[in-house]
Structure 1
Amino acid sequence: MIVEKIDTFGGHRDPIYALERGPLAEQFFSAGGDGQVVQWHLNRPDLGELIAKVPTSIYALALHPTSGLLWVGQNFEGVHLINPVRKEEVMSLKLTTAAIFDIKFHNDDAFLALSDGVVAVVSTNPLVVKKHIKASDQSARCLAINPVERELAVGYSDNVVRIFNLTTYALKHVIQAHGNSVFTVAYSPDFQHLITAGRDAHFKVWDVEQGYTLLHDTVAHMFAINHLAFNSSGTLLATASMDKSIKIWDADTYKLIKVVDRARHAGHNTSVNKVLWTDYNELLLSASDDRTISVWKLS
């Protein structure tokens, strides 16, 4: 595999914690510690647009697929719904004083992972809180949805991954997953595997159909794994780490293919917090504490 760094997007004044796809393949959004939400164009690197500004850090962004509104999880304030075309707030919901670490959608519901251990279920129309799922006193850090099995996977700071029924919200499985906080969870594109990772620098692969039995346990990085993501074709898995590197894995065998770092590829010089595969020429984005977003071409 050949990895080429083709662009760097700069302009944020603090670490970048969130990346999200835009309404078009060449567009994406970023946000972080400076409270700024910026829309970028992969075919126009000079065309960054500030579309929203909130007073505190943003850890979660999610573009609602039907309304086209961007959900912005503000630290300690709740969620803001932004029209990215008009660059204006449409509505907001102060559902918590906790930090919002992740947002995922399923049908007419939004699921929000909160730092007080709650997963808030919010109706998207009308915008009202339907349910508080409280299964831990420690932070709910990350979410993944399996529409095939109708399950919601939640990773927590108590080292556990819990699986809930997506419609009744009943607790189905408790996975003693890691030796420390779980920062990221993702279902494989065929929904047969759940991949989890976190502060202990391992990523683990769980067999969904066999009651989440452990298939693989890989010491993947030197320090915490902040995020992982599959490409759209489901052939590659990218992991982003506090050790400043991105690693590319074969999604069938979970074997390492490539290490992307500063020494070999002019990568980030501090923690890599988020990765995002785009449908624009299958480019991979990475966001870092160094306040930049790198654009990678893999061939």
Structure 2
Amino acid sequence: MIVEKIDTFGGHRDCVYSLERGPSPDQFFSAGGDGQVVRWNLNRPDLGDLVASIPASVYALAFQPDAGLLWIGQNYEGLHIVDPIQKREINSVKLTTAAIFDIKLYKDDAFVALADGVLAILDVNQLVVRKHIKASSQSARCITINPVEREFAVGYSDNMVRIFDLETYTLKRTLTAHTNSVFTVSYSPDFRYLLTAGRDAHMKVWDVENNYVLQQDVVAHMFAINHLAFSSDGRLFATASMDKSVKIWDAETYRLVKVVDKARHAGHGTSVNKILWTGQPELLLSASDDRTISVWKLIN
């Protein structure tokens, strides 16, 4: 595989923490420590469009495609729901005084992971809280949803991953997953496996259909793994790390395919916080503490 850096998106005045897909395959959103939420076009890296300016760091974004709305998690305040075209706030929820680390939307539910250990589940349409789940005294960091098994998984700073029922929200299983905070969780595209990673730099693969038995434990990076995500065609996945690198993996064998870093590819010079596969499976975005977003083209 050959990896080419084809663009750099700059303009944020602080670390970039979040990337999210936009309303079309060539658009995406970014946000970070400067509180600015920006819409970008892959074809015009010089033209970032400021959608919202939030007076606190933003770690979490979620796009609601059917309504065309962007959910923004404002640290220590709550949720803002914004129309990115009109650039106006449609609604807001004073949900918490804790940091918001992740937002996932599924059907009529919004799942929100909070730094005080609470998982808040809201009705997307009414914007009322359906459920508060306090399963840990430490932060809820990341969420992934499995509609096939009717489950969702949440990674926590107490090193655990907890599996909940998607309909009743009851706790079904607790995995003693890592030796430090769990920063990222993702079900495989066929929902047969759960991948988890975090501060201990290990990537673990759990067999969902076999009671979440641990299938693989890979020392994937030198330092914390901040995020992992599968390509749109399901053939690859990527991991982003505090060690300043992005790694590309084979999704079937979990074999390392490529290391993307500063020395070899003019990659990021600081921690890589988030990755996003575009609608084109050969294009990958990475966001960093260096305030930039890089666009990588993968050529087999």
**TM-score higher than 0.5 here?**
yes
TM bin, normalised by shorter chain, reads over 0.9
Tell me which residue corresponds to 1:135. 135
Tell me which residue corresponds to 2:250. 250
The letter of the residue matching 1:49 is D
Moved more, 122-131 or 32-41: 122-131
CA distance in structure 1 between the aligned counterparts of 2:11 and 2:281, rounded to whole angstroms: 24
Q: Deviations over 1:219-241 (max 9, x none)?
A: 00000000000001110010000
Tell me which residue corresponds to 2:276. 276
The letter of the residue matching 1:277 is W
CA distance in structure 2 between the aligned counterparts of 1:263 and 1:27, rounded to whole angstroms: 29
CA distance in structure 2 between the aligned counterparts of 1:131 and 1:44, rounded to whole angstroms: 41
Tell me which residue corresponds to 1:53. 53
Tell me which residue corresponds to 2:68. 68
Tell me which residue corresponds to 1:119. 119
Aligned-pair CA distance for 1:65: 2.3
Q: Deviations over 1:26-65 (max 9, x none)?
A: 0000000000000000011112100100100000000012
Tell me which residue corresponds to 1:182. 182
Tell me which residue corresponds to 2:156. 156
CA contact (8 A) 2:233 2:281 kept: no
Report the count of equivalent residues: 299
Matched, 1:203 2:206: no
Tell me which residue corresponds to 1:292. 292
CA distance in structure 2 between the aligned counterparts of 1:128 and 1:36, rounded to whole angstroms: 26
| Alignment RMSD | 0.6
CA distance in structure 2 between the aligned counterparts of 1:208 and 1:37, rounded to whole angstroms: 35
Q: Deviations over 1:73-108 (max 9, x none)?
A: 000000000100001111100111111100001110
CA distance in structure 1 between the aligned counterparts of 2:93 and 2:152, rounded to whole angstroms: 22
CA contact (8 A) 2:232 2:281 kept: no
CA distance in structure 1 between the aligned counterparts of 2:12 and 2:92, rounded to whole angstroms: 24
Q: Deviations over 1:110-158 (max 9, x none)?
A: 0000000000000011111111011000000000000000101000000
| SS in structure 2 at match of 1:71 | strand
CA distance in structure 2 between the aligned counterparts of 1:253 and 1:273, rounded to whole angstroms: 25
CA distance in structure 2 between the aligned counterparts of 1:61 and 1:280, rounded to whole angstroms: 21
Q: 4+ residue stretches of structure 1 with deviation over 6 A?
A: none
| SS in structure 2 at match of 1:127 | coil
Moved more, 51-60 or 272-281: 272-281
Aligned-pair CA distance for 1:67: 1.0
CA distance in structure 1 between the aligned counterparts of 2:10 and 2:280, rounded to whole angstroms: 20
The letter of the residue matching 2:187 is Y
| SS in structure 2 at match of 1:209 | helix
| SS in structure 1 at match of 2:161 | strand
Kindly tell me: are residues 166 and 244 of structure 1, through their superposed partners in 2, closer, same or farther at Cα, counting changes over 3 Å?
same
Tell me which residue corresponds to 1:5. 5
CA contact (8 A) 2:231 2:281 kept: no
The letter of the residue matching 1:10 is G
Q: TM-score, normalised by structure 2?
A: 0.99
CA distance in structure 2 between the aligned counterparts of 1:22 and 1:209, rounded to whole angstroms: 33
CA distance in structure 2 between the aligned counterparts of 1:71 and 1:194, rounded to whole angstroms: 25
CA distance in structure 2 between the aligned counterparts of 1:121 and 1:282, rounded to whole angstroms: 34
CA distance in structure 2 between the aligned counterparts of 1:210 and 1:118, rounded to whole angstroms: 28
CA distance in structure 2 between the aligned counterparts of 1:65 and 1:44, rounded to whole angstroms: 22
The letter of the residue matching 1:189 is P
| SS in structure 1 at match of 2:248 | strand
Identical residues among aligned pairs (%): 73
Aligned-pair CA distance for 1:281: 6.1
The letter of the residue matching 1:79 is L
CA distance in structure 1 between the aligned counterparts of 2:94 and 2:268, rounded to whole angstroms: 35
Aligned-pair CA distance for 1:290: 0.2
CA distance in structure 1 between the aligned counterparts of 2:280 and 2:91, rounded to whole angstroms: 30
CA distance in structure 1 between the aligned counterparts of 2:96 and 2:211, rounded to whole angstroms: 33
Moved more, 277-286 or 60-69: 277-286
